[in-house]
Amino acid sequence: MLSKNIDKYTFSQQHDNISMGKRVWYFFWDLVKVVAVALAIIIPVRYFLIQPFYVQGASMEPSFYDQEYLIIDEISYRLSAPDRGDIVVFRYPKDPTQFFIKRIIGRPGETVEVKDGFVFIYAEDGNRKYLLDEYDYLDNGVKTRGDKRWELGEGEYYVLGDNREHSLDSRIFGPVNRGLIVGKVWLRGWPLDRAKIFNGVDYEQFNNGN
């Protein structure tokens, strides 16, 4: 009688041990599946949709300051072309291992002229010339130094830094090819007191049919 009780106890103990082992296995298997699903979501988002970017330098002040943390939208330009006023991150034409942040001023087919401290845009027909009103992002009294005129070809964009006195931009290295543009600034996440979502710029003279 005693022997039967021991056998039943031993069987029960072995059964519990097997159940515990299965539970541990199922736990780790579920964990692996959760991690796999998370990576399947995060990796495409991180490398193909958005990516973080730290501002370095003062070329975009006062819009952006050194060490601010930005999120770059990489998918929008797969659906539509970059637009005037967009703040973009691109590979430096003279060294594609470096990343720059500037603002798009001129688009393909246009002619951009920097003269007398201002920026002028010629329409694609070359007959109409407009002063680019940049009051949305330039400090009052800021002048755009240089005496440049550039006709943009297919897929070429003219970019300038908002800090016109201290910016290495298209006035120096010329236009940026579309293939070098990584994406546009969507969100400033840090510092928190300057957190902001960025939309397009309203250039009134171009929105009124000019």
73 in helix, strand or coil?
A: strand
pLDDT at position 128: 74
DSSP 3-state of 162:
coil
Q: Is 145 helix (H, G, I), strand (E, B) or coil?
A: coil
Would you state the pLDDT for residue 25?
A: 67
- Provide the whole-model pTM: 0.73
Closest CA to 119 of 47, 203, 31: 203
| pLDDT at residue 202, rounded to an integer | 80
Q: What is the DSSP string of 94-140?
A: TEEEEEEEEEEEE-TT-EEEEETBEEEEE-TTSS-EEE---TTTSPT
User: Could you tell me which residues are beta bridge partners of residue 114?
Assistant: 119, 148
Active-site residue 102, yes or no? yes
b/e code 5-43 from CB counts within 10 Å (16+ = b): eeeeeeeeeeeeeeeeeeeeeeeeeeeeeeeeeeeeeee
Structure token digits, residue 51: 């990516």
Q: Over its length of 210 residues, how does the chain's per-residue pLDDT go in tens digits?
A: 444 454 544 444 444 555 766 766 666 666 665 554 444 444 444 444 457 888 888 999 999 999 999 988 988 898 889 999 999 999 999 999 999 999 999 999 999 999 999 999 987 666 778 899 898 888 877 899 989 899 999 999 999 999 999 999 999 999 999 999 999 998 888 898 898 988 888 886 665 444
Q: Which residue has the tokens 């680019």?
A: 132
Strands 95-106 and 156-160: antiparallel
C-alpha 199/C-alpha 87 separation (Å) is 9
pLDDT of residue 78: 86
Distances (CA, A) of 84 to 15, 33, 106, 179: 71, 44, 6, 17
Among residues 12, 33, 59, 143, the one annotated as catalytic is 59
Question: DSSP string covering 2-70, please?
Answer: HHHHHHHHHHHHHHHHHHHHHHHHHHHHHHHHHHHHHHHHHHHIIIIIEEEEE--SSTTTTTS-TT-EE
pLDDT at 17: 52
- Of 3, 33, 63, 102, the active-site residue reads 102
Cis peptide before 62 (omega within 30 of 0): yes
Q: What is the pLDDT of residue 79?
A: 87
Q: What are the beta bridge partners of residue 195?
A: none
> What is the reported pLDDT for 126?
65
